[in-house]
């Protein structure tokens, strides 16, 4: 297990190095120079040349890369071009708010998704199962950016129960904060719950038909024990893989949801950076998101290895 962990951590480090090169490379191929963007359209060539000199834009690319990447390692992400402020604190704040959104959503998805999946498998072929299946079909197909508009029209415009957009910090009071979280989280979770529950159901069904479940039943164990102690742990394996894939979908959803609900998170900041050609901000944002995503995948892999004896023992021997 330790060997496996080290191997995986090295892979993650490698991936991040390659990604940083890729993200940095974008600056090099992007049309127009950074100096040009800072100074605006009416800058003279002399001004641009002077600024390029001070910013070190004439250095060879590997010198520039090293300057950028080494700053990154010590938490100096550079200056935002449009906001004229250091990027690190900007991103840190936004990241915290995005994490609240993601964490809340992921918790709901894991708990409700698994539960509905088990329910569907236990009631297979009956009314509950059919109703769930129809719901899953529908909610998997609704894109987040349309679903949040529907929710806004329903709960904000028509019923007036919740604020349509915006964000309130916890310091404004818990209920105010919560009221701003309901619709974004609600948008994010529906599709993913449908996805997770559908796959949990089929994994669970497969396990329930296996011989060892029959054996457990034949032994006279109560159905509840069979379900939770014998069937569920094995059905969880594929569910973990699915949850890991869903982290990627969740990231995409968060970007859209933050933009629509004007939620000041990292996703909206990256879209802002792209729209305004704020390169340093975009680079930092994309790299941070990639790092988090890679970590999330690592955690999923480790969970999978931990839950799957075949990997747990197979790899540690090798």
Partner 1 sequence: MSGAPASPPTSPAANGTANGAANGALRRRRLPRQLVIGGTIVGAIVLLAILAPWIAPYSYDAFDIPNRLKGPSAANWLGTDEFGRDVLSRVMVGAGLSLSMGFGATAISLAFGVPLGLMAAYFRGLAEEAIMRTIDVLISVPPIMLGLLVLAVSDPSLWKTMLAVGIIYVPIMTRLSRSVALGLMEEEFIQAARARGAGARWILFHELLPNAWPPIIVESSLRVTFAILLASALSFLGLGPQPPSSDWGLMIAEARQFLDDAPWIAMGPGIALCVLLIGINLVGDGLREVLDPRLKKRGAA
Where along the sequence are the contacts to partner 1 (CB under 8 A)? 11, 14-15, 18-19, 22-23, 26, 29-31, 124, 137-138, 140-146, 149-150, 152-153, 157, 199, 205-206, 209, 238, 241-242, 244-245, 248-249, 251-252, 255-256, 259-260, 270-271, 274-275, 282, 286, 289-290, 293-294, 297
Alpha carbon distance 196, 251 (integer Å): 16
What DSSP letter does each residue of 225-254 carry, written as one string?
HIIIIIIHHHHHHHHHHHHHHHHHHHHHHH
Burial letters 65-76, b for 16+ CB under 10 A, else e: beebbeebeeee
Q: How far is the CB of 100 from partner 1 (least distance, A)?
A: 18
Q: How far is the CB of 204 from partner 1 (least distance, A)?
A: 11
Alpha carbon distance 171, 168 (integer Å): 8
Closer residue to partner 1, CB minimum distance, 64 or 165: 165
Closer residue to partner 1, CB minimum distance, 74 or 141: 141
Q: How far is the CB of 28 from partner 1 (least distance, A)?
A: 10
Within 8 A by CB and 6+ apart from 318, the residues are 3
Q: Where are the beta strands (DSSP E) in 39-146?
A: none
Alpha carbon distance 70, 92 (integer Å): 18
Closer residue to partner 1, CB minimum distance, 47 or 290: 290
Alpha carbon distance 217, 279 (integer Å): 61
Closer residue to partner 1, CB minimum distance, 28 or 44: 28
Q: How far is the CB of 166 from partner 1 (least distance, A)?
A: 15
Q: How far is the CB of 79 from partner 1 (least distance, A)?
A: 19
What DSSP letter does each residue of 154-192 carry, written as one string?
IIIIIS--S-SS----GGG-HHHHHHHHHHHHHHHHHHH
Alpha carbon distance 80, 150 (integer Å): 35
Q: How far is the CB of 53 from partner 1 (least distance, A)?
A: 25
Closer residue to partner 1, CB minimum distance, 88 or 133: 133
Closer residue to partner 1, CB minimum distance, 50 or 311: 311
């Amino acid at each position: 297990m330790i060997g496996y962990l080290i191997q995986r951590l090295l892979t993650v480090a490698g991936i991040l190095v390659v990604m940083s090169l890729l993200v940095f490379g974008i600056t090099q191929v992007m049309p127009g120079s950074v100096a040009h963007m800072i100074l605006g359209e009416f800058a003279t060539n002399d001004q641009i040349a002077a600024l390029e000199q001070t910013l070190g834009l004439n250095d060879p690319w590997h010198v520039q890369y090293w300057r950028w990447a080494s700053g990154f390692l010590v938490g100096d992400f550079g200056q935002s071009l449009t906001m004229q402020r250091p990027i690190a604190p900007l991103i840190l704040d936004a990241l915290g708010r995005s994490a609240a959104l993601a964490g809340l959503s992921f918790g709901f998805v894991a708990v409700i998704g698994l539960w509905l999946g088990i329910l569907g498998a236990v009631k297979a072929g009956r009314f509950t199962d059919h109703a769930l299946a129809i719901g899953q079909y529908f909610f998997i197909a609704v894109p987040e950016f349309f679903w949040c508009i529907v929710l806004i029209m329903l709960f904000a415009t028509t019923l007036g129960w919740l604020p349509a957009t915006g964000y309130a910090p916890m310091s404004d009071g818990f209920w105010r904060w919560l009221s701003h979280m309901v619709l974004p989280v609600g948008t994010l979770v529906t599709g993913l719950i449908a996805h997770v529950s559908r796959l949990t159901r089929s994994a669970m069904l497969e396990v329930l038909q296996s011989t060892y479940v029959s054996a457990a039943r034949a032994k006279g164990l109560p159905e509840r024990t069979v379900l939770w102690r014998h069937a569920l742990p094995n059905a969880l394996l594929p569910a973990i893989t699915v949850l890991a894939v869903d982290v990627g979908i969740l990231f995409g959803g968060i970007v859209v949801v933050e933009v629509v609900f004007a939620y000041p998170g990292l996703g909206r900041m990256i879209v802002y950076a792209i729209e305004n050609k704020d390169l340093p901000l975009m680079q930092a944002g994309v790299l941070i998101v990639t790092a988090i995503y890679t970590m999330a995948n690592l955690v999923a892999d480790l969970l999978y290895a931990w839950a799957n004896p075949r990997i747990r023992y197979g790899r540690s021997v090798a």
